[in-house]
Chains A and B, each alone.
Chain A
């Protein structure tokens, strides 16, 4: 069977979009949207260290390093929150920038020492390079996505409970911390798998934008999650096709821009929560207004009705 490079990349970004939409739904609902961003930035030094330690560009080696340091970043966030009086936002900013700085420093020195062979490859992880995806990479993505989907589907009820009522979840005997860690782990895995295609800086967008767009369409978690997966998949495919059609446009940013476009469209068009729907409600209200006004104006009407003539005389 003959598979073109575009088809390989398409499959990869499609799977990635679906998985990110699925995990991102919980991240957005649990107000952990930027945790993905922190993990993505924190993954960079691990990637470089894995390259330095094993002198290998095998994607599995690099991504294992990235996953480890991404998780280290997530752990650092919770440690700093617990042991210092710094706030959530400052802690996230600190971990994100310090780890990213370490990554940049390592990338630079690798690039300076391995100028001829593979330094540039590491830099491609910063803004991503989906076009160079190999068949093996996509197979690995497929396995990760399959495992993620299975875990989310099996624990759907528990994760739902965690997202909406953490205390009740604990009272029911589920370990909220355990589920939280699991969710964090899934987020980290998806972020790291997305790194080669979308890059350190933009992976967070895959997790945040499709669920945020899906939020406009439904109030049911299961439906919202499915819509988020669909939007993520569509963004992945459209972004890839656009970048294949117009040569030289980078894939990752196009995927993000596509999902942003879908977000804006959803915001305008979605029933009940969309801008159009709301403006119709407002016009409806305006059509009610004369009636409301006349209703309010009627009680004083009898008192004034006696003297319209006199009022006109004065004027």
Chain B
């Protein structure tokens, strides 16, 4: 594949200027590479990026509307469309082929709905029936059309690697051939977004509301399907069947990272561009398929997003859970020390406990070590040698904890009339989640808030900055 760069189709002698020619030449000098190689790489990445933007923009709506597999089905049926046009006309002209492919896309979208509704089959089965049949038809026709250029390999694998090689003059500039279909496609996609932004958003998130407000969800569905068909057809030339990866994966990653539609669209475009660019560079490095590696890079980015995504990421969730556990262990230590002080003879003096006792109060384990450090760093506990004691702020914090605990016990007793031995455990859980506001509310609700059901005094919190 790489060796074809030397025999590439760029004809610089024609006098047609190439955009960014100076830039790529400069870059080539900097990297000490042949100028044509850098130029090819630059244009290939540009084609890939354009492709990614078209796919991501429409893909976001596929993912939001839960019809991602329609994108898969469309990419398969495109072959049938071009094959059908070949059967009828016997030639391979780009424009009729494009129209045929679009028609096949529409037929797929309509047929899946028709088979689903009229034949009363589940939707996934109807998608499976329609696209496999159309694809099979396409393969049969293509296998008979060996004497003309109808390339099954191109459909199956795409040829992103060559996209920057075939430059053609358009409006006085020499740009990649795929631009002729990709730029109009991008225009159409942007036009759809600009004109039907409100309707698309509404029908994607709340189709029922959209229908009651008088927007037809069906019309939007078919409009979107048409645009996806156009996008699929023009992107297929470049990435083949793997267009589905560009449609779905960047949109899905963006969905994991944000809850805003506009942010999601921008993010998915950026992610798509990074996928095609990195995929192409890896393909150069490993001498492999650019489209395939684009999909693999997209999958890797998805994994990263799943792990590190700020709100829903596995890592974030893990850290939040760990923090909560540390806080709960620490609060158990504080409450335990406070109870010990209550039981002791000198209620005013600050109670002391050894490090190992505090460790045991926290429940043991790694979390308890972290909890003790958490307490010390916040100066809720003071350490003198191996002896720990509550600080002034720690005492206030602990009093608030025990107050929450006992208020909750009293609340359960009064409102649900639970037996006394059923009160401690729920209160032990709840005490960590009752702030000053809830304390106040419970106090107002209770008939008396001086004693808990076990007869112990509910400590009063005069200063409530710490909770």
Contact = CB atoms under 8 A, between A and B. Distances in A.
B416 interface: no
A279 B152 CA distance: 41
A267 B140 contact: no
Contact of A89 (B67, B143, B306): B67
Given A93-B71, A94-B248, A84 B256 contact: yes
Contacts of B241: 100, 201
A80 B252 CA distance: 11
**Main SS of chain A's interface residues?**
helix
A91 to B, nearest CB: 8
B122 A28 contact: yes
A19 interface: no
Interface string B142-175: 0110000000100011000000000000000000
B1 A112 contact: yes
Contacts of B68: 87, 89-90, 92-93
Nearest to A256: B136
B314 A83 contact: yes
Interface stretch (A208-216, A224-232, A290-298): A208-216
A119 interface: no
Contacts of A81: none
A41 B241 CA distance: 12
B119 A108 contact: no
**Main SS of chain B's interface residues?**
helix
Interface in B273-302: 283, 286-289, 291-296, 298-299, 302
B140 A249 contact: yes
B312 interface: yes
Interface stretch (B27-35, B127-135, B195-203): B127-135
Given A103-B292, A267-B119, A257 B157 contact: no
B137 A212 contact: no
Given A109-B288, A253-B139, A37 B128 contact: yes
Interface residues of B, number: 58
Given A83-B306, A126-B156, A253 B125 contact: no
A112 B287 contact: yes
Contact of B286 (A89, A92, A109): A109
A257 B248 contact: no
Interface in B54-89: 63, 66-69, 71-72, 76
Interface in A6-49: 28, 31-34, 37
Interface string A220-264: 000000000000000000000000000011101110110010010
A99 B135 CA distance: 20
Contact of A94 (B76, B129, B293, B299): B299
A122 interface: no
Contacts, number: 196
Given A105-B289, A253-B139, A28 B125 contact: yes
A253 B137 contact: yes
B136 A253 contact: yes
B379 to A, nearest CB: 39
B160 to A, nearest CB: 11
B135 A201 contact: yes
B38 interface: no
Contact of A101 (B119, B256, B287, B295): B295
Interface of B: 1, 63, 66-69, 71-72, 76, 119-122, 124-125, 127-129, 132-133, 135-137, 139-140, 143-144, 152, 156-157, 241-242, 244-245, 247-249, 251-252, 255-256, 283, 286-289, 291-296, 298-299, 302, 306, 312, 314
21 contacts: A31-B124, A86-B252, A87-B66, A87-B68, A89-B67, A90-B66, A90-B252, A92-B69, A94-B248, A94-B252, A102-B292, A102-B299, A104-B156, A108-B289, A109-B288, A202-B135, A205-B128, A205-B132, A209-B132, A249-B140, A260-B132
Q: Which 5 A-B pairs have the closest CB atoms?
A: A101-B295, A105-B292, A98-B299, A104-B292, A205-B132
Given A90-B248, A92-B68, A94-B252, 11 more contacts: A85-B256, A86-B256, A93-B69, A93-B248, A94-B249, A98-B296, A100-B242, A104-B156, A108-B288, A109-B286, A253-B143
